[in-house]
Structure 1
Amino acid sequence: MKWFLVCLHLFFFHFPSFSSLNFLCHQDENYALLEFRKTTTWKNGSDCCSWHGVTCDTISGHVIGINLACEGLQGEVPPQISHLSKLTSLHLSYNYGLVWKESTLKRLVQNATNLKEMFLDYTDMSSIKINSFDLLFNHSSSLVTLSLQTTGLRGNFKRSILYLPAIHELYMSGNHLRGQLPDLSSSIFLKILDFSNIHVKGPIPPSFSNLTHLTSLSLMGNSLNGSIPSSLLTLPCLTSLDLSVNNLSGQIPNIFHQSHRLQKLDLSHNKIGGDLPISLSNLHHLTSLSLSSNSFKGQIPNVFEAMTKLQHLSLYSNNLEAQIPSSLFNLNQLLTLDCSYNKLVGPLPIKIPGFQKLTYLNLDNNLLNGTISSSLLSLPYLTILSLSNNRLTGHISAISSYSLQELYLCANKLQGNIPKSIFKLSNLTTLCLSSNNFSGALDFQHFSILQNLRSLSLSHNSQLSLNIESNFSYIFVELTTLELSSLSLSQLPKFLGKPPSFYSLDMSNNKLNGRVPNWLLETINSLGFLNLSQNMFTSIDHSSRSGYQISYLDLSYNLLQGELSASICNMSSLEFLNLAHNKLTGIIPQCLVSLSSLQVLDLQMNKFYGNLPNKFSKESQLLTLNLYGNHLEECLPKTLSHCKNLEVLNLGSNRIEDKFPNWLQTLENLKVLVLRDNKFHGPISNLRIKSSFPSLIIFDISGNDFSGSLPKAYFKKLEAMKDEDASFSYMAEALYYVYSQLSSTWYYYSVTMTIKGIDSTLGKISTNFAIIDMSRNKFEGEISNVVGELRALKGLNLSHNRLTGIIPRSIGNLTNLESLDLSSNMITAVIPAELSDLNFLEFLNLSDNHLVGEIPRGKQFNTFSNDSYEGNFGLCGFPLTKKCGPEQHSPPSPNMFSSEERFGFGWKPVAIGYGCGFVFGIGLGYFMFLFGKPRWLVIIFGGQPKRRVRRRTRVRRTNGSNMNQMIQMS
């Protein structure tokens, strides 16, 4: 439809009037046109001035206009078009198959010296170099309008790439031009300039301030940086400015004081900071203001009294706080207001004198409290009202805004009965009342009165009693989304005649039982999203039909039992399948991993046995494979390496017997690898490849029979665990929000790990939440200093192995570390003082080793109990009852105890035994473990210990932990 309207626009508003038939066009121009396009209406020997899309001069008979926009032209443009030297207007836009050669365009522009309008949008100019434009258009002194939007132009702008002295309108959006914005100082008559979404960067050129005739400027969707030039805002004719979606920074320089004529201002999606300027009040002529998606803070200034012409105001996604100013509610011309995703507080006004033309109001995701006033619910033209995710309380008063189409009141603290006035809103298409405190009894039948209703959400109102009658059939004509989660329902509704064509249905966390009902299976072809998790269903019959179109199916936490039939693969469009926490048994169907559309497969905590499916396709789109807690056996199939998009692989708590799958390290996107509690064995080979697990943030191979040294080469290449200061977002790949337009249900990938000594289930996983767990194996040798390079680590567990040597000082570099467990090994020497600089360390277990000397003091170390150190008979000092002697108060520099440095024996009695004799070594070792490290012995072997200068650690916060916030107990 949009394409059709654009074509109509070009036809009616850019098509010059047809020429009189009294004048025949010139023969050479007739021939040129026939070469350009031959159709049934373009016939040789007829007057070309009468042809469709052709305009001739009424006196000379020369062709002066061509308008063939949206005509479906294909192939290369013939060079004969350049023979139309008298052209003044050329419209060929939206001919997607029309290809331009640089030579053809150059001849046309150079010959048609009177050309004033050229519209070539959405044609193919990909073979033309942007750097040649100065040669193409230098002679086009008469060109007034040039539109080259989305033509495939590529390359870097040069400073003086466009010399168009007569140009008034220039449109080049949607290309890939890069570089910096060109100098347009020669185009002094320019009125409209659109350089949006062309990928340029750098500052806005000062020369733009010379464009004194400019009325509209759009530079949105680029990578522009720096500040907004104040001179740009003094342009006398500017009425529309769009700088959104860039990287502009700093303050907005006197923007609202200088732009008195400005009618539309859009600075959204930038990084502009600071407070909103009070000088907003100077914009008397402003009709549209958008400062969305920036970093504005403070309160919205109370300056709207004089802005009487304002129609559109958008301030969403900032850090605005305090109350909404009262003057804003006085605006009578305002049509749309969006202040969502801020920190606005306080109640909404009881009386609203303005807003009499308001159609759209969005204040969701703020901190608003108090009740919803009746005046807000009675605005005469309001069609969309969104107040979700606030702290609104009280009852909903009667609603008389009968124009309402969408009403969002989700995630508040509203209470009482759902008002009956809602069922009088005949235009209502969307109603969201979920996650509140509504109570009382409500007949589901009432909602069938709203015959335009498409989306209904009542989920998570635990006190609401929704009555669904078993002997009644409901009628919903338009309903496609129904969310009735967590309402203690014991039955699904029945529908009269053909069931609704549901696209999204969420009935999770209820008391539904037995077999999934047949009517639901009959509508499954139209379903995209079905969530029946946390119920008591025992079976689902998916064998009766084929070709299911469902994309998202969640039946986790039910009582499903028996074998999983291969007929489930009839759901050929399946992208998400979660059957976790049931009683399913048998072998996992091979066809599941052959589904080309499948992205998430979660079968954890069932009773599947046998081998894993072994034919993973090279076309696989699999992102998550979770088979944790089953009875799977044998080896891992190497075809898993075909899943190049795989990000989460959890095979923990099975019976898999294999060597470490080194071939998995080729999966560049793998972020979570869990192989814990299986029968893996043997050493982990240090393969010499360029990249090894570069994206891995969770590595858990605990509870196996791995042996040999810790894989130092792997530690060196875990790039994602090294960057502690990167700005990470919650990873969308392991934190799936499937079909955000269909449902509010999130799929959080969860993984069970041993954190702080307790088996815990991690919920949301952030990409800077890095954990290594190699405990309960047979690793031996020393802990490499390389571990200290993994600065993003929050948890490190190497307990219950056979590790020897010392605790590396480099662990003190892990400033994000919150949990460290090295217990039940044979680690010797002192506890490095650097560990006391770990400000976030909340859990420490060094028990059952051979550590000696004084326990470091200060910061987090003052909070640990005896349990952290028990089984180390050579330790002394707080919190142990054993006091340190004079020679034990100042542990020597750890340099002296590194096996790689000059103090060779590292407090290993066996090493001394080799040097001095077995008996002497045993005796000296016993002496050391009883009385600590004698200073005279240190002097003999290593000289006076050097005075250590403690490294300063940047303090990011005092105490507390975000690990606790990430952990949800099973």
Structure 2
Amino acid sequence: MKRWLIPSYFVIFSLFFTYNSSALTLPFCPHDQSAALIQFNSSFSIDCSGFRQPSISRAKTISWEEGTNCCLWDGVKCDTETGNVIALDLSFSCLFGPFPSNNTLFLLRHLRQLNLAGNDFRFSPMASQFGQLTSLTHLNISWSSFIGHVFENMVANLTQLRHLLLSEVNMSQVVPTSFLNMSSYIQTLVLENNYELHGKFPEDVFRFPYLQKFRVSSNFLELKFPKTNWSAPLKSLQVTLSYLEELPDSIGDLTSLEILDLPVNHLGGPIPASLGNLTQLKYLDLSDNNLSGVLPVSAFNLRQVQFVDFSGNKLAGSFPSQVSDLSQLSILDLDRNFLSGRVPSWLFSLPSLVLLRLSNNKLTGPIDQFDKVTPLEEAYLQNNEIEGPVPGSIALLVNLIYLDLSSNKLSGNFELDKLSKLKKLESLTLSNNALLSFTSESKANYSLPNLLSLNLSSCDVIDFPDFVRNLEGLRELDLSNNRIHVIEANMFVKLKELQRLDLSHNSLLSLSNNGNLSLFLPNLGYLSLASCNLTVFANFLTIQESLRELYLSNNSIQGQITKQERTWGSNLVILDLSNNLLTVVEYYPWRNIKVLRLDSNLLEGPLLVPPPSTSVFSISNNKLTGEVPYSICEFGTEIDAALDLSHNNLSGVIPKCAGLANIAYLDLHANNFHGNIPDFCVNENNMLSTLNLNDNDFDGPLPKSLANCLLLEVLILGNNKINDTFPYSLGNLPSLQVLVLRSNNFHGQVINPDNQSYFSNLRILDLSHNNFSGYLPTTFFKSLEGMMGLADVDMAYMGDRFQYYTDSMVLTMKGEDIVLERILTIFAAIDMSSNKFEGTIPETVGNLISLQVLNFSHNHLTGHIPSSLGNLVALESLDLSCNELVGEIPSELNGLNFLEVLNLSENQLVGLIPRGKQFNTFLNDSYAGNIGLCGFPVSKSCGRSEPPPAIFDEEEVDSAFGLDWKFVMMGYGCGLVFGFSAGYIMMTIRKPKWLVGMIQRAGNRVLRRFKKYR
């Protein structure tokens, strides 16, 4: 939450009464009203233990006592003349229980203000009797577990209502147009976290003549602001996490507006220049939308504005050369845009600016010098193209606490003498500025007494910087990815407070043994020496008792870890020794270890189970043999535990034990396990999210208990000997996205047993190389809702919630097994090749518009190629080869702009091959074995003159879908087929150069291709 904003809970109280009165001036409240309150209170229990805001929750009604003046009761306010109860504030009063429609609260007909927010009424329907309280001007039932079934009738009767707050009221059955029934006097409307509220919100609400505060967030409403006749007195307009079409020019008519808060709403188009008319505006947030165009100059003419956030948009252009008056501006955030040009000096001279965020843009040129001392505390300019030296005038920013200039093109000398004046500086990040050097004009020892974090990674540092030795308060130091040669213990004599030290990726590093580093760094808890070309363990590691995290991956450390080294790093919690040359581990001396990585070494012999404290254990890609010991059952007691034993020579059966059911990530692929797959999810209280048993010798049927794996996202069982029918019982798993059953002995028909919707979130389905038969399942394809929408281009990977592992798959191509290490969540593919399916290809396949790979090859399919396949606008690879398809190739396929691979060979197709676009790139092999086809590129002419193939540019040939992967040419003919994959980070087994080249070239064209055809 942005710190400028007033907390939402404060709004509850600010809209309701506050008063101080004495018993001498208040009349007694009428007996019937006192009795109604007593009966109201008795209908609920009081329990403050489970409420969301325990700090402000208070059981107000406990003090209510029958026979006393209710005007003196906590939360009750009476009319000073008549004694009638006119206001009731029971917000966060720990009331618990259902709210009956005949509640005696509705007898208080003089009520003007009612606040029941923050209680728990157990999802009670919003009683229509609220409408009987016709004198109400204030109503707040937020966060109290109400369901708003009768909202329309209720608000129609509340003709005096001024303030209505309904946050977190379940409004699934409320029609948005019913808000037009509100009182014409309405001044405040707050609808936060009404997740069930959907539909088009009536824009006439914004024309209510007295509306001053409008706050809507976290729902599925579609809002459209009026282009004329806004409510003139509107002061606060806040819409978040909803759907707004645009910001119209008429926004400039709201001259009383003080808060304009519209982040995360899919807003598109430019920011209107009329924004400059909002002379009273203090808070302006348009962040995380799709706004484009140039940075509006009018936004820099708002004299009252204190907060401006345009981050996360597509704004371009440069800053104005000067501004008139931004004396009140304290926060300016323009992060993640496309701004260009120089950083003007006036940005550092604003008298009230505390935070400046210009990171992740395209700013260039040197930073201009400035000449004023300002209150600026935080400056973030990382990830731009800023050149030249850091200006010496930075010394004027004496209040600076955080400074980040990383990932730019800074050069020249960084004048450390100037830094010495920044006594408040706590964090300095200069990483990824390879042309920057660090010098001092004098021999004096400069110190930054409050500096806690220093990042000089990727700055081409050769020698350990002398000035670092004097940073006595430093806690974090990052010198990674440099060319430092020597590290000596005496370099850290004054750095007693250092807790994190990263020296990784210094390939020429030598750790000197003259001195004990543990004596100088008594508080060091994190140390990374990854990729430093180390061959042995450093001596000081054996006695560095404070060390909790140690990263030694990607070195050449040889030898063994033996029982003689029991004291070695005894307090370690995380240890990464992956990608080294270790041969033996006799003993794990780390009794408190949580994460232990020994993958990609040369370890041999039986598996040594890690200590019970371990929650992440990877020993993949070694040479382990033998069976998995039963003691593995002690592993996996932590939430989101991960176990990776893949790519070894382990054999035997997997132990049946409850412990494995608690594991979230389990990868046993590429071993020699056999027997039945054990029951991993004995009950529904399991954590299993990824299960990869690929490339083993499992047989028998699938365990029925897999249907209990309610969190399962990825199930990969390929290349085994499993003998079963299609597992429809898995179709109810709500999170399942990847199902791979390829190369087993599955058989029978793929039939939806009861015509219900199954596998609704599935993104990847591989049934290839089995014995499935019957017709392709039409109703099954109808249920694959996860493949029916185009995904956003934001790339995430399956398994990313695990810090150390992501899910992977295998691409089989021309006899090559290529491991693609990460699966993109936006990837969608179906491979049902090499089975015994028959009949026609269902038209419903054309509804799966997010598919990128479709493979029905090597079956017995008949009939025509459905024209609906032309709807698969994301398709990159289509293989229908080796079937009995007839008729012509549908011309609709010519609209598949991303189609890179097409194989229609060995069918009975006839007629003219379509021309243009991607079809101009396919060779004769795509159509081989179809003697009835004619036209380019096959040699058979269609009997009339044909134009030569159209000239096409590189962009028309090279396809990409906003992804960092590329599909590759198929093996043509019935002897070669291929599986599929998703996404890549690294290929690990036999990398053909032609495939790597295609992937690399694709990366350069990803964004421009997606924009062109989106």
TM-score, scaled to structure 2? 0.71
For the Cα contact (< 8 Å) 1:454–1:479, is it kept in 2? yes
Return closer, same or farther for 1:117/1:288 CA change in 2, 3 Å cut-off.
Answer: same
1-side partners of 2:478 and 2:607: how far apart? 29
Gaps of 5+ in 1: 893-946
* CA 806–103 in structure 1, closer or farther in 2 if over 3 Å, else same: closer
> Is residue 721–residue 768 contact of structure 1 (8 Å, CA) maintained in 2?
no
Q: Distance in 2 between matches of 1:389 and 1:121?
A: 46
**1:581 equivalent in alignment to 2:647:** yes
Larger mean Cα displacement after TM superposition, 26-35 or 266-275: 26-35
Counterpart for residue 134 of structure 1: 155
**Structure 2 CA distance for aligned equivalents of residues 335 and 953 of structure 1:** 57
Determine the structure 2 residue equivalent to 1:275. Answer: 294
C-alpha separation in 1, matches of 2:215 and 2:704 = 52
| Structure 2 spans left out of the alignment, 5+ residues | 42-59, 434-457, 563-567, 575-589, 968-982, 989-1014
C-alpha displacement of 1:605: 2.8
The one of 605, 608, 613 equivalent to 2:678 is 613
What secondary structure does 2:316 align onto?
strand
| Correspondent of 1:603 among 668, 676, 700 | 668
Cα displacement (A) at 1:241: 0.9
Partner of 2:692: 626
Q: Is the 8 A contact 1:183 1:207 kept in 2?
A: no
The 8 Å contact of residues 787 and 828 in structure 2, kept in 1 or not, is answered as: no
- Corresponding position of 2:583: none
Q: Out of 810, 826, 850, which is 1:752 matched to?
A: 810
**Mapping for residues 290-301 of structure 1, pairs under 5 Å:** 290-301=309-320
In structure 1, what residue type is equivalent to 2:28? C
Q: Does the CA contact (< 8 Å) of 1:854 and 1:875 recur in 2?
A: yes
| Other structure's SS at 1:625 match | strand
Query: What is the rounded CA distance, in whole Å, between the counterparts of 1:603 and 1:581 in structure 2?
Result: 8
- Judged with a 3 Å threshold, the aligned counterparts in structure 2 of structure 1 residues 173 and 826 are, in CA distance, closer, same or farther, namely closer
Aligned to 1:414, what secondary structure does the other structure show?
coil
Q: CA deviation at 1:308?
A: 3.5
CA contact (8 A) 1:602 1:626 kept: yes
Q: Distance in 2 between matches of 1:50 and 1:149?
A: 29
CA distance in 2, matches of 1:757, 1:815: 30
Give the counterpart letter for 1:890 in structure 2.
C
Q: Which residue of 2 aligns with 1:234?
A: 253
- Bigger drift between 182-191 and 241-250 goes to 182-191
Q: Secondary structure at the match of 1:749?
A: coil
| 1:410–1:573 distance in 2 versus 1, CA, 3 Å | farther
Aligned to 1:25: 28
Partner residue, 2:941? 889
The aligned amino acid for 2:673 is F
Identify if the C-alpha distance between structure 1 residues 261 and 450 changes in structure 2 by more than 3 Å, giving closer, same or farther.
farther
Aligned equivalents of 1:217 and 1:722: distance in 2? 37
C-alpha spacing 1:433/1:245, structure 2 compared with 1 (3 Å): farther
Match for residue 715 of structure 2 among 625, 644, 649: 649
The whole-number CA distance in structure 2 between the counterparts of 1:392 and 1:48 is 71
- 2:676 is matched by which residue type in structure 1? N
CA–CA distance in structure 1, aligned partners of residues 148 and 937 of structure 2:
75
Q: How far 1:421 moved relative to its partner?
A: 4.4
Letter in structure 2 aligned against 1:735: M
The reply to whether residue 214 of structure 1 matches residue 214 of structure 2 is: no
* Cα offsets for 1:637-664 (capped at 9, x unmatched): 3433443543322223444455665665
Give the aligned residue type for 2:402: I
C-alpha contact (below 8 Å) 1:509/1:533 kept by paired residues = no
Distance between the aligned counterparts of 1:871 and 1:9, measured in 2?
74
Q: Secondary structure at the match of 1:279?
A: helix
Q: Matched residues in 2 for 1:473 and 1:187: separation?
A: 70
What are the residue-to-residue correspondences of 1:76-87 with 2, within 5 Å?
76=99
Give 2:790's aligned residue.
726
Q: Report the counterpart of residue 200 of structure 1 in structure 2.
A: 221
Cα distance between partner residues in 2 of 1:53 and 1:787: 61
Matched, 1:738 2:801: yes
Give how far 1:169 is off.
4.7
Does the CA-based 8 Å contact 1:147-1:172 persist in structure 2?
yes
What is the CA-CA distance between 1:288 and the residue it aligns to? 1.5
Partner in structure 2 of residue 357 of structure 1:
375
Higher mean displacement: 810-819 or 566-575: 810-819
Query: Does 1:637 pair with 2:703?
Result: yes
- Cα RMSD over matched residues? 5.5
Aligned partner of 2:127 in structure 1 is: 102
Distance in 2 separating the partners of 1:856 and 1:215: 60
Give the match for residue 569 of structure 1. 635
Which stretch of the first structure deviates more once superposed, 949-958 or 657-666?
949-958
TM-fit CA distance, 1:294: 3.0
Task: Name the % identity.
Answer: 31
Paired AA for residue 439 in structure 1: I
Aligned pairs, number: 880
Q: Which amino acid aligns with 2:486?
A: A
* Matching of residue 673 in structure 1 with residue 743 in structure 2: no
Contact 2:836 2:859 in 1 (8 A): yes
- Structure 1 residues 468, 639: CA separation in 2 closer, same or farther (over 3 Å shift)? farther
| Structure 1 equivalent of residue 582 of structure 2 | none
Contact kept, 8 Å, 1:853 with 1:891, in 2: the verdict is no
1:891-940 deviation digits (Å, cap 9, x = unpaired): 79xxxxxxxxxxxxxxxxxxxxxxxxxxxxxxxxxxxxxxxxxxxxxxxx
| 1:72 is the counterpart of 2:94 | yes
Letter in 1 for 2:302: L
Say if 1:487 and 1:756 are closer, same or farther in 2 by CA, change over 3 A: same
Whether 1:960 aligns to 2:958 is: yes
Change in CA separation of 1:10 and 1:280 when aligned onto 2, cut-off 3 Å: closer
CA–CA separation in structure 1 for the residues paired with 2:308 and 2:375: 17
Question: Aligned to 2:159, what secondary structure does the other structure show?
Answer: coil
Q: Partner residue of 1:519?
A: 570
- Per-residue deviation at 1:675? 3.7
Q: How do 1:642-721 residues align onto structure 2 when only pairs under 5 Å count?
A: 642-656=708-722, 670-678=736-744, 680=745, 690=755, 696-701=762-767, 704=769, 706=771, 711=776, 719=784
Aligned partner of 1:964: which letter?
K
Q: Distance in 2 between matches of 1:495 and 1:656?
A: 48
In 2: Cα distance, 1:889 partner to 1:871 partner: 15
Name the SS of the counterpart of 1:577 in structure 2. Answer: strand
Aligned to 2:50: none
- CA deviation vs aligned residue, 1:158-181 (integer Å, no higher than 9, x gap): 25332153x655544334554514
* Contact 1:242 1:266 (8 Å CA) reproduced: yes
Deviation at 1:138, TM superposition (A): 1.0
User: Residue type of the partner of 2:181?
Assistant: I
Check the 8 A contact 1:315/1:340 in 2, yes or no: yes
Match of 1:123 among 122, 131, 144: 144
Query: Deviations along 1:14-37, whole A, 9 cap, x unmatched?
Result: 631131547663462655555555
Q: Greater CA deviation, 351-360 or 448-457?
A: 448-457
**Distance (whole Å) between structure 1 residues aligned to residue 949 and residue 11 of structure 2:** 71
Task: Give the CA deviation at 1:255.
Answer: 2.9
The answer for the alignment partner of 1:251 in structure 2 is 270
Q: For 1:354-503, what aligned pairs fall within 5 Å after superposition?
A: 356-366=374-384, 379-387=397-405, 398=416, 400=420, 401-407=422-428, 413-416=458-461, 417=463, 419=465, 421=467, 436-437=481-482, 439-442=484-487, 459-462=504-507, 473=518, 485-488=530-533, 490-491=536-537, 494=541, 499=546
Whether contact under 8 Å (2:810, 2:818) holds in the other structure is yes
**Residues 708 and 7 (structure 1 numbering): CA distance in 2 closer, same or farther, change over 3 Å?**
closer
Distance in 2 of aligned mates of 1:765 and 1:485: 26
* Letter matched to residue 336 of structure 2: S
SS in structure 1 opposite 2:362? strand
Q: Map 1:855-866 to 2 at 5 A.
A: none
Corresponding position of 2:364: 346
Which sits farther off after the overlay, 276-285 or 362-371? 362-371
Partners of 2:61 and 2:774 lie apart in 1 by: 78
| Contact 1:184 1:207 survives alignment (8 Å) | no
Q: 1:518, CA displacement in angstroms? A: 6.5
Equivalent position to 1:263, from 282, 290, 310: 282
Give per-residue Cα distances to partners, 1:190-243, cap 9 Å, x unaligned.
Answer: 443333345432312468723x33322212232232x33433322232121112
Gap change, CA 1:415 and 1:406, over 3 Å in 2 = same
**Higher Cα radius of gyration:** 1
Match of 1:161 among 181, 185, 209: 181
